Structure 1
Amino acid sequence: MNGMKAQWIGAGLAATLVLLSACGRQDEPQTDAVREPTPRAPTALPDAKESPTLAAIRQRGRLNCGVHEGLVGFAYTDNRGAWRGFDVDFCRATAAAIFGDPDAVRFAPLTTEQRFEAVRAGRVDVLWRNTSWTMSRDTASDLSFAGVNYYDGQGFMVRRSLNLTSAAELNGARICVQSGSTTELNVEDYFRRRGIEYRPVVVASEGEARQAYAREACDAFTADISALAAARTTLPNPQQHMILPDVISKEPLGPVVRTGDERWLAVIRWTLNALILAEELGVTRENAADLAKNSADPRVRRLLGVEGDFGPSIDLSRTWALDAITASGNYGEIFNRNLGEQSSLDLERGLNAQWSSRPGGLIYGLPVR
């Protein structure tokens, strides 16, 4: 008992020092400085083996999160150098679930070519970057997907002046496409199946593809529809461009971790599910703390850590989900703020609506019980 008491006193003193040093840090540009670990009460259940990844994160004092190097709506830096976006908010929620602090995260901008090697080499703990879950990536690349946070599909953007109504009319067209991605493979499959000739303009990055399209080096730009919507906002006259109705692929985008650490995979999976389930249950950033005190709904009480040991079962505190929701909001809040009606993209929920909404989508939170 004396040892445990000393441990708690030490943790309390360390937490006070970290809190004082953290004042005024929010929204500052990310640096490589190592943070002091934010102590949390011991939470692992008896006989549970702690995730080595989670242990390293706690020792380091921050989460290393891989994101897109610059995609409006998903991951980008604002004019003060602070990271913003849909995937960025999931990074912050993950940091909050671990530390109770959404700012205990370092963002690592990664290109398409860099992203998987950064995960395998341990340079990032998790990849929250618009990455499609495919069989080859899931089974032969030392990678594990924790779930889907955005259902996308590949499409085409063209100039309205071309008067096109379908991608099938792009016979002989020059099409800008990023190399080394599923996008390049999908567009080849699409035109090959239809016996349509096209001229690929292959570039190294999505940004280069946007630039090539903008200077009219190609007639059409193909990418995930969300990326096309983001690209359109950067063009001088967005209204002069349209996204064709064709959706030529399924692109389930989700977080990626290294294979071999199942408990860390569970942390990412259940943080994602907690944010999805929070929307379904009406738990928001604003009311989460109040519901933790007053809700009689057993589903809400389990989610927010009032009942059960669900956080400790994955080496987190009982308030892990409450902390994540308070940091970034529920799934719907994250979507609307970055991609939906409150954003410049103004994307409809579509497939990314909750399964229980009308019309229903594919977003379905696994139960916490």
Structure 2
Amino acid sequence: MIKSQLLTAYVAFFFVTAAALCFSAQADTLSEIKQRGYLRCGITESGAGFSYINAKGERAGFEIEHCKTLAAAIFGKFKVDYIMATPQTAFTLLQSGGIDVFPSGATWSFLRDASLGLDFAGVYFLDGQGFMVRKKTGVKQVADLDGATICVMQGTTLEQNLADYFDGKSLRYSLITFADTDKALEAYQADRCDAVTMHRSALAARGAGMHDRDQHVILAEVISNEPQGPMVRQGDARWRDIVLWAFNVRVAAEEHGVTQANVEEMRRNSPNREVQRMLGRYGKFGEAIGLSNEWAYDIIRLVGNYEDIWNRNLAPIGLERGPNRLFKDGGLMFALPFR
């Protein structure tokens, strides 16, 4: 019995020690990335404007710009390996070390933050769950969907949001679930449901490719708040700081009028001390997180500010900024200060 207990204790010690060593080995993500020579960035296939293959055969879109932002901060160039993920596999990939960051639009919720062993690194996009319906149905608001059949992607917060909202309003509905957004949209187009629900940004992106897009409408009403941000593994504070501040650079640059087009001139001539600190003219803000002091300058030079990125990717699919406008312009986006 004693030998058995000792063996059990040794086995437990072995696994705890192995887990600690594994965690320790993964705790310095920046060093791993530099040694590897490229960033492993998790992306989804989320459609026009967000993540897609452009006419040149290149990865493009809002999500891709996030990966490029981090690569620019670390290397001063786009050294990225794009790892395809789905909403069902992304968290596991990140937990296991298969990717360094998942910046592709996960909603910051309590359970995701508290139970996955992952951390959010700020909010870069404010979205909401909405509905697409056929114009000929005459549906003008969500209440008009009482008794409707609704297509939705399974395994996400979309199902729970839908149940919470319809139950709270005493509205009846039937649900058809699908493994991914494309299948849900295909079913909607095939008249298997009266409406399809997903984030309004996804409806705009996916809907852009519909052959009869003008016969459908995205309802103005939203049933949830979806603050989205990049995710990293817990236990590496420096890497979380890098991701948070790299994304913050883009908003700060827009606030201060620094764009991809004028960053060289602003770096030389701006009298604004905060701009000078951000662009590496004063202080050692890069060294403080293990990067070059030109890291923020490289982000703006190679990727641009938040407005540059929006206009390049999301404005062409008709997505209005809404709450993603700067705070001073009536939105909710504001930058943390460089001081």
TM-score after normalising by structure 2: 0.91
Shift of 1:234: 1.4
Task: State the distance in 1 between where 2:301 and 2:27 align.
Answer: 24
User: Structure 2 counterpart of 1:290, which letter?
Assistant: E
What does the per-residue CA deviation read over 1:54-91, in whole Å, with 9 as the maximum and x for residues that have no partner? 00000110001111123221111124431101111111
Query: For residue 195 of structure 1, what is the aligned residue in structure 2?
Result: 170
Match of 1:71 among 40, 44, 47: 47
Preserved CA contact (<8 Å) 2:27 2:235: no
**8 Å CA contact retained: 2:39, 2:100:** yes
TM superposition shift of 1:261: 0.4
Runs of 4+ in 1 over 6 A off after TM superposition: none
**1:33-44 residue pairs with structure 2 within 5 A?**
none
SS of match in other structure, 2:88: helix
Identity of aligned residues (%): 43
Match of 2:65 in 1: 89
Aligned residue number for residue 352 of structure 1: 324
- Give distance in 2, aligned partners of 1:129 and 1:109: 11
SS of equivalent to 2:293: coil
Is 2:269 the partner of 1:294? Answer: yes
1:117 equivalenced with 2:96 (yes/no): no
After superposition, where does 1:211-230 map in structure 2 within 5 Å?
211-230=186-205
Match of 1:238 among 210, 213, 233: 213
Q: Which runs of 5+ in 2 are unaligned?
A: 1-25
The match for 2:124 among 114, 125, 149 is: 149
Where does residue 222 of structure 2 map in the other structure?
Answer: 247
CA distance in 1, matches of 2:28, 2:198: 36
Q: Give the corresponding residue for 2:254.
A: 279
Deviations 1:85-126 (A, max 9, x none): 11111110110100000x201111211101100110111101
C-alpha displacement of 1:260? 0.6
* Offset of residue 51 of structure 1: 6.3
1:316 to 291, 300, 304: 291
Normalising by the residue count of structure 1, what TM-score does the alignment of the two structures yield? 0.83
The verdict on how the C-alpha distance between 1:51 and 1:307 changes in structure 2, with shifts beyond 3 A counting, is farther
SS at match of 2:335: coil
Residue 328 in structure 1 maps to residue 303 in structure 2: yes
Are the aligned partners of 1:51 and 1:263 in contact in 2 as well (CA < 8 Å)?
A: no
Shift of 1:346: 1.6
Measure the CA separation in 2 of the matches of 1:266 and 1:70. 26
In 2, the alpha carbon distance for the partners of 1:157 and 1:230 equals 12
Higher share in helix: 2
Between Structure 1 and Structure 2, how many residues are aligned?
Answer: 314
SS of the residue corresponding to residue 366 of structure 1 reads coil
Distance 2:197 2:151 in 1: 6
Q: 2:228 is matched by which residue type in structure 1? A: L
The offset of 1:246, in angstroms, is: 1.6
The one-letter code matched in structure 2 to 1:73 is G
* Partner secondary structure for residue 318 of structure 1: coil
CA distance in structure 2 between the partners assigned to 1:143 and 1:349 by the alignment = 28
Q: Does 1:62 align with 2:47?
A: no
CA distance in 2, matches of 1:97, 1:328: 10
Hey, what's the Cα distance between the residues in 2 that align with 1:290 and 1:170?
54
Aligned mates of 1:153, 1:64 — CA distance in 2: 28
Unaligned stretches of 5+ residues in structure 1 = 1-49
In the alignment, residue 240 of structure 1 is paired with which amino acid?
Q
Q: Give the secondary-structure state (helix, strand or coil) at the position aligned to 1:128.
A: strand
The separation in 2 between residues aligned to 1:211 and 1:314, in whole angstroms, is 46
**Partner residue of 2:75 out of 91, 94, 99:** 99
